[in-house]
Amino acid sequence: MPPQTVLVTGASSGIGLATALSLAESGFVVYASLRDLRRGDQLKQEAQQRGLTVHLVRLDATEPESIRDAVDTIVSRSGGIYALVNNAGIIVRGYFEDVDEEEIRRVCDTNLFGSMAVTRAVLPHMRDAGEGRVVFISSTAGRLASPGNSAYCVSKFALEGFGECLRQEVEPFGIFVSLVEPGFVKTELFGRNRNVSRRAEDPSSPYHSSFQRLEQLTDREVRGAVIAPSAVGAVVRDILTTRRPKMRYLVGRRPKLLFALRRYLPGETFDRIWMRELGRRLRSGPKPEGA
């Protein structure tokens, strides 16, 4: 069989970049999409160093015209699209009252509606082929909420529901949908791509002190993160190559332990333990500067 074609969104860095390289290494024809092709230097360099071919294509998940152009280009060159990896995503940090509606909409437009729009564009080609894979890079934050993360959790919780519905609808056509749920991954989402709500940094906010402490704890978690982007890429590769992929894939030892605990404890008991642990960590965490 000829190599199968895969579209990976949000491939300028982190999980998207690692996934694109992993799939190219496994023999797939990979189209890696970026909102700004000028940010593709790292991907091109790493692909060249490994002797791999990765095709870069411009795609902004919030621009219908760019989605259509990208999908048309890929189909005209490759004859179809076997798999879509919806990875493009953004984050806005801040307690809910400090995050305005426009900021929340921006997160949902990319993480949820953008993924929906790209998926809608590729599904007809998968149905015509009678096979396909749609992978959503979700998060443990799509199943378990945490403070200061309301906009991101809203988008990922909704993405999880969409993924479940979509699998039920398209599996009869030979298309499998999977959700990948990593814990903290060493990516730029909490580095240069971290967005903090304007009001969250305002000292007059009633949440300011708590949020500053939360950000320090988050930084510590990210520094200690043991999940590499390549680990997520390896999971995606397995989804695309197994005969019948699962609905959900947790990535990371800690998330697996946490959700195992959640599975065996009564819901209210787990919620109390989780809330108590969050409160303890915030109270015992480092004090913000000037406090």
Point out the residues that are catalytic: 12, 138, 152, 156
Q: How far apart are CA 70 and CA 89, in angstroms?
A: 18
Nearest alpha carbon to residue 82 among 240, 265, 244, 267: 240
Burial 69-103 (b: 16+ CB within 10 A, else e): ebbeebbeebeebbbbbbbbbbbbbbbeebbeeeb
The answer to whether the CB of 142 falls within 8 A of the CB of 95 is: no
Kindly state the tokens that stand for 47.
């692909």
Report the SS3 class of residue 276.
Answer: helix
Q: How far apart are CA 8 and CA 17, in angstroms?
A: 9
Angle between helices 115-129 and 150-170 (to 10 degrees): 20
